[in-house]
Structure formats: structure tokens, C-alpha cells
Amino acid sequence: MARWPRASATGIGSLPGLDIVDAVKLVADELPDLPYLPELPNRGIGADMIGRSAAVLIDMPVELYVSRWQIASRPGKDLRRALDLWDRDLDALTEQFAGYAGPLKLQIAGPWTLAASLQLPIGGALLRDHGAVRDLAVSLAEGMRLHVADVRRRVPGAEILLQVDEPSLPAAMAGQIKTESGLGTLRVVTADRASETLRTLIEAVGAPVILHCCAADPPIEIAVRSGAAAIAVDLSLVKDLDPLGEAIEAGLDVIAGVAPTTGPPKPAAKLAEEVEQVWRHLGFPKAMLPERVAVAPTCGLAGATPSAAKAITISCREAAQRLSDD
């Protein structure tokens, strides 16, 4: 089943700037085949990935304490600010995408990244408490189910795709998440626990899920085991291509991160060449490439200038078209 139109390009999530209306318009104009709801972390508290994602949790309020998000006893001003930013973003999306029909990508931090980043009220990462992680996964799944349903009401023609961002999952599985003192590490998250927890979310949200990880050695096999529909990775960080090929054979589509987020934008021809090189190595028919792969930046673009972010976005779109034309 095609998750997006042939020769699509998209973004990973974040953009520079403070104006959500301008950001949504940029996405709608430049990425018409696979648009997404952009994130603007430069707006501050509640716009960052962890605060923004934690704001959708059900019955698990959060607050900012000593520059870190932690579980709170009751909703407060930090959570209200994060929810207000969500409302503004969704209003901008509703207006710009009125009458739109086609795929529309949303992004949220996954349960393992939230568990590694959120603090317990008594201190320490929530990741250290297995029961708390289970509660978090259930809460996030319900929150995202409601969020997806809300976007469907706002944009009735949208075919929602949910990108679950898990940059901390490889470190959690390698036992590299530090304790609060910094002198030790938390216990290893096994592949079974990682995939089972993600499956809880994937089965609940009511939309195809793209598992995204821009860290080195992304856990591609976890995406397959958890029931994800697609994976999004920085191709330069995938050292072993065999799991990627196995995932494609299993039916997962790929968002290929190839456009660097810093420095001068790479020409579209160079981006297309890098994707084609990986595809040739995997040995799949060339005709499948534009059907199964979308082109994207390697990660979010919040650190780029507005002009660079636009140029990178356009380069991705042109690279995707080249893959179709070749």
C-alpha cells in the first residue's frame, strides 16, 4: 500500500522562525505531495520536542523544573502554554489545508524518548521506573489517538501519517542513558520491551506510523517488529544496510534523510544520486524507488536560517522528482 504519492518529498518536523502561519504555508507550497505540520521550537517553553509531545499525555500533567520537564501533580502554566501553542498550530493547519485531500504527516516524540527525557517528581528519568514507562505509553497512545481524530475533523480529506520520533531509543537499548548523578547508567531496554511498548502506541492511534530515528545505528528492526508502516532515517548514519533492506522487503516504506541541515544546501542532483546509490546497493528494482522512498532532510531544520530551510526543502522536492524522471 502506497503511503504517499510517487516522487514525494517531506520534512522531518522542525523549521526556524516564530510564525506558524508562515511555516505551514511554506510546507503547503513546497511539499504538496507529503506535507506535514511544522514545529517551531524557537518559540520557547512548550514548543520544544519534549514539552510539546508531553502536552498531549492524558492524565499525566507536566511542568518545567530547573530547565527540565517533569511529571507534575496538576496542570500548570507551562502545560497551558504548550497546549496554547498546539491550538495555534492546529488552527493554522486547518485554515491553510481547507479542502486538502491527501497524506498529511504529524510528529510526536515516542514513549522511549519521552521516558528518557521526562523526570519523575522525586528526581531521575522516568525511564528508570518500568511501571511509569508502561503508564506513559498508554497515556501517550490515548493522547495521540485523540490528536489524530482532531486533525481528521479539521482536515477531513487528510490521510494522516504519524511520525514517532525516537532519537533516544538506540541509547536506551545500549544502556547509555545516565542516572541523575551522571555516575551510572539505567538498565538496558531490551528489543522485546522496545517493540512491545511501541506496538501499544501503533495499535492505538488509528493511523499508519512512521518510526523516525536520526541517531547513529537506528533500530530499524524495532520498526518492523512493532508494526510500523514506514521508517525515517538519516541515510548517512545507517552503517549496516541489511536491516534496511529487510524492512523494505517486509513492506515498510522509507523517508530517506539525505539533505544536510547545516551548511550550503546540496544540489538536488547530488541528493538523488545518494539515494540511488543506497537503493542500488540494496538490489531493489529501480522502478520501485520513487514508489517506496520519500526524500527529506537528515533531521529537523530549526537551526537553519529561514532562507536556508526553504532552499533545503526545495532541493528535497526536486531530488524526489529526479528519482522519478531517471
SS3 304: coil
Q: Kindly indicate the confidence band of residue 123, based on its pLDDT and cuts at 50, 70 and 90.
A: confident
Predicted structure pTM score: 0.95
As a CATH number, domain 20-325 is 3.20.20.210
Quick one: which H or E segment has residue 165?
A: strand 158-165
Q: Please tell me the distance from the alpha carbon of residue 64 to that of residue 72, in angstroms, as a whole number.
A: 9
Question: Domain extents for the chain?
Answer: 20-325
- pLDDT, one tens digit per residue, over 268-299 is 999 999 999 999 999 999 999 999 999 999 99
Beta-carbon contacts of 181 under 8 Å, excluding residues fewer than 6 positions away, are none
Q: Please tell me the distance from the alpha carbon of residue 323 to that of residue 326, in angstroms, as a whole number.
A: 6
Helices (H) and strands (E) in the chain, counts: 12, 8
More confident residue, 18 or 2: 18
Closest by CA to 292, choosing from 261, 252, 240, 258, is: 252
Cβ-contact 71, 118 below 8 angstroms: yes
Contacts 24+ apart (CB under 8 A), 317-321: 317/9, 317/30, 317/31, 317/268, 318/268, 319/9, 319/258, 319/259, 319/268, 319/269, 319/271, 319/272, 319/275, 319/295, 320/7, 320/8, 320/9, 320/33, 320/272, 320/290, 320/294, 320/295, 321/7, 321/268
Q: Kindly indicate the confidence band of residue 2, based on its pLDDT and cuts at 50, 70 and 90.
A: low
Cβ-contact 168, 213 below 8 angstroms: no
Q: List, in sequence order, the alpha helices (H) in 118-255.
A: 130-154, 169-173, 191-204, 220-226, 242-249
Quick one: which H or E segment has residue 62?
A: strand 62-65
DSSP tag of 236: G
Mean pLDDT, residues 14-20: 97
- pLDDT, one tens digit per residue, over 176-235 is 888 776 667 888 999 999 999 999 999 999 999 999 999 988 999 999 999 999 999 999
Q: Name the pairing type of β-strands 158-165 and 102-109.
A: parallel
DSSP tag of 126: G
